[in-house]
Structure 1
Amino acid sequence: MNQSEFTRIFCQKPESFAWFLGAGASHNANLPTADDILTDLKRRHYNSEENQTYKTKDLQNSAVREIVESFMQSQGFPERWAADEYTTYFQKIFGDNRKRQRNYIAGILSEDRVRLSIGNRVLGALMVSGMCRVAFTTNFDPVVEKAVASVGGKQISAYHLEGAHNAVTAINNEEYPFYCKLHGDFQYDSIKNLEADLASQNAELSRCLSIAGSRMGFVVAGYSGRDESVMTVIQEILNNPNPFPHGLYWMKMKNSEPLDMVTQLMEEASSMGIDAEFVDIETFDTVMLRIWRNLDDRPDDLDKVVRKGRAQAVSIPMPSSTGSKPLVRFNALPITKVPNVCGKVHLKKKMEWDALSEIQKNSETTGIYTLGAEFQCWGSEQEIKEALGSNFLSTEKMNFDSDWRANSALHLKRFLEDGLATAFCRERPLLMRKRRSGVHLIVDNKTQDVGIFERLFNEVGKTTGFIPGLHLPAMGDFPAVDRIGFAESIHLSLAFADDRLWMVLKPDVWIFPTFARRHARGFLDNRKSNRQNDKLDAIFSAWIGVLSDDAGRNATVSLSPFDGDTGYMNPVFEFSTQTGFAMKRGAG
Structure 2
Amino acid sequence: MRIEHVYPIVESDDFARRFQMRAGGLMWLLGAGASASSGIPTAGEMLWEFKQALYVSQRKVSPKSVEDLTNPAVRSLIQNYISSSGTFPVEGAPDEYAAIFEAAWPSEADRRTYIESRTRGAKPSYGHLALATLLMAEHSKIIWTTNFDDLVDDACAKVFGTTSALTTAGLQAPELARETISGQRWPAQIKLHGDFRFRRLKNTPEELRHQDAQLRHVLIEACQTSGMVVAGYSGRDESVMSTLTEAVKQGSSFPGGLFWLHRGDYPPLPAVISLLTRAAESGIDGGLVTIENFDETTRDLVRLLKGIDTTTLDAVAGERRRWTATPAPAGKKGWPVIRLNALPISVLPSTCRRIVCNIEGHAAVRTAVAAAEVDVLCTRTRAGVLAFGADTDLRAAFEPFGITDFALHPIEPQRLRNETGERGLLRDALSRALAREGGLTIDHRRTTDLLAPSDPKSSEWEELRSIVGKLSGVVEKFPELIWREGVGLRIDWADERPWLLVEPRIVFSGLSDENRFAATDFARERTVKRYNGPLNALVGFWAARLAKGGVPQRALGVSAGVEAVFQLSDATAFSRRIGP
Structure 2 residue corresponding to 1:452, chosen from 448, 460, 475: 460
Q: Secondary structure at the match of 1:213?
A: helix
For 1:347, the equivalent position in structure 2 comes to: 356
For 2:567, the equivalent position in structure 1 comes to: 574
Deviation at 1:294, TM superposition (A): 9.0
Over 3 Å counting, the alpha-carbon distance change for 1:338 and 1:29 in structure 2 is: closer
Structure 1 residue corresponding to 2:223, chosen from 212, 216, 227: 216
For 1:81, the equivalent position in structure 2 comes to: 105
For 1:469, the equivalent position in structure 2 comes to: 477
Contact 1:359 1:365 survives alignment (8 Å) = no
Provide the rounded CA distance (Å) in 1 between the counterparts of 2:388 and 2:248.
51
For 2:438, the equivalent position in structure 1 comes to: 428
For 2:283, the equivalent position in structure 1 comes to: none
Over 3 Å counting, the alpha-carbon distance change for 1:209 and 1:176 in structure 2 is: farther
Structure 1 gap segments, 5+ residues each: 35-77, 90-104, 184-195, 256-262, 276-284, 472-482, 550-554
Over 3 Å counting, the alpha-carbon distance change for 1:83 and 1:122 in structure 2 is: farther
For 2:487, the equivalent position in structure 1 comes to: 490
1:559 equivalent to 2:565? Answer no
1:396 equivalent to 2:407? Answer yes
For 1:95, the equivalent position in structure 2 comes to: none
1:321 equivalent to 2:331? Answer yes
For 2:429, the equivalent position in structure 1 comes to: 419
Counterpart of 1:342, as a letter, is T
Deviation at 1:580, TM superposition (A): 6.1
Structure 1 residue corresponding to 2:305, chosen from 299, 303, 323: 299
Contact 1:339 1:571 survives alignment (8 Å) = yes
Deviation at 1:432, TM superposition (A): 1.4
Provide the rounded CA distance (Å) in 2 between the counterparts of 1:177 and 1:356.
45
For 2:507, the equivalent position in structure 1 comes to: 510
Over 3 Å counting, the alpha-carbon distance change for 1:408 and 1:495 in structure 2 is: closer
Contact 1:342 1:568 survives alignment (8 Å) = no
Structure 2 gap segments, 5+ residues each: 44-101, 194-202, 281-290
Provide the rounded CA distance (Å) in 2 between the counterparts of 1:505 and 1:393.
40
Counterpart of 1:521, as a letter, is T
Q: What do the CA deviations read for 1:61-113 (whole angstroms, capped 9, x no partner)? A: xxxxxxxxxxxxxxxxx997336437999xxxxxxxxxxxxxxx9xx999xx7
Contact 2:553 2:567 survives alignment (8 Å) = yes
Contact 2:356 2:406 survives alignment (8 Å) = no
Q: Secondary structure at the match of 1:425?
A: helix
Contact 1:342 1:378 survives alignment (8 Å) = no
Structure 1 residue corresponding to 2:392, chosen from 382, 385, 389: 382
Contact 1:18 1:134 survives alignment (8 Å) = yes
Name the TM-score, length of structure 1 as normaliser: 0.56
Q: Secondary structure at the match of 2:207?
A: coil
Provide the rounded CA distance (Å) in 2 between the counterparts of 1:149 and 1:585.
36
For 1:120, the equivalent position in structure 2 comes to: 128
Contact 1:440 1:490 survives alignment (8 Å) = yes
Counterpart of 1:574, as a letter, is Q
Counterpart of 2:502, as a letter, is L
Considering only aligned residues, what root-mean-square deviation do their CA atoms show, in Å? Answer: 6.3
Contact 1:464 1:488 survives alignment (8 Å) = yes
Deviation at 1:485, TM superposition (A): 1.4
Counterpart of 1:386, as a letter, is A
Q: Secondary structure at the match of 2:552?
A: strand
Identity percentage over the alignment?
20
Counterpart of 1:506, as a letter, is E
Provide the rounded CA distance (Å) in 2 between the counterparts of 1:220 and 1:146.
18
Provide the rounded CA distance (Å) in 2 between the counterparts of 1:577 and 1:109.
45
Please give the residue correspondences for 1:93-108 in structure 2 after superposition, counting only pairs within 5 Å.
none
Contact 1:157 1:179 survives alignment (8 Å) = yes
Over 3 Å counting, the alpha-carbon distance change for 1:206 and 1:173 in structure 2 is: farther
Deviation at 1:563, TM superposition (A): 1.8
Deviation at 1:420, TM superposition (A): 2.1
Provide the rounded CA distance (Å) in 1 between the counterparts of 2:499 and 2:29.
44
Q: Secondary structure at the match of 2:484?
A: strand
Counterpart of 2:554, as a letter, is S
Give the length in aligned residue pairs. 471
Name the TM-score, length of structure 2 as normaliser: 0.57
Provide the rounded CA distance (Å) in 1 between the counterparts of 2:497 and 2:124.
34
Q: Secondary structure at the match of 2:478?
A: coil
Provide the rounded CA distance (Å) in 2 between the counterparts of 1:374 and 1:493.
24
For 1:186, the equivalent position in structure 2 comes to: none
Q: What do the CA deviations read for 1:533-556 (whole angstroms, capped 9, x no partner)? A: 44445545554565467xxxxx44
Contact 2:142 2:188 survives alignment (8 Å) = yes
Provide the rounded CA distance (Å) in 1 between the counterparts of 2:420 and 2:443.
19
Provide the rounded CA distance (Å) in 2 between the counterparts of 1:146 and 1:584.
35
Deviation at 1:377, TM superposition (A): 2.9
Q: Secondary structure at the match of 1:518?
A: helix
Deviation at 1:367, TM superposition (A): 1.6
Q: Secondary structure at the match of 1:421?
A: helix
Larger Rg: 1
Please give the residue correspondences for 1:24-173 in structure 2 after superposition, counting only pairs within 5 Å.
81-82=105-106, 84-85=108-109, 115-121=123-129, 123-124=131-132, 134-135=142-143, 143-148=151-156, 155-159=165-169, 168-171=178-181
Q: What do the CA deviations read for 1:406-445 (whole angstroms, capped 9, x no partner)? A: x657555444333222112221321112334532212225
Counterpart of 1:379, as a letter, is G
Provide the rounded CA distance (Å) in 1 between the counterparts of 2:324 and 2:126.
23
Contact 2:467 2:537 survives alignment (8 Å) = yes
Contact 1:346 1:395 survives alignment (8 Å) = yes
Q: What do the CA deviations read for 1:373-430 (whole angstroms, capped 9, x no partner)? A: 675432222222334441534443444443557x657555444333222112221321
Over 3 Å counting, the alpha-carbon distance change for 1:130 and 1:564 in structure 2 is: same
For 2:46, the equivalent position in structure 1 comes to: none
Deviation at 1:223, TM superposition (A): 11
Contact 1:119 1:288 survives alignment (8 Å) = yes
Deviation at 1:346, TM superposition (A): 3.9
For 2:197, the equivalent position in structure 1 comes to: none
Q: Secondary structure at the match of 1:392?
A: coil
Counterpart of 2:166, as a letter, is I
Counterpart of 1:559, as a letter, is Q
Provide the rounded CA distance (Å) in 1 between the counterparts of 2:383 and 2:249.
38
Contact 1:560 1:571 survives alignment (8 Å) = yes
Provide the rounded CA distance (Å) in 2 between the counterparts of 1:159 and 1:20.
14
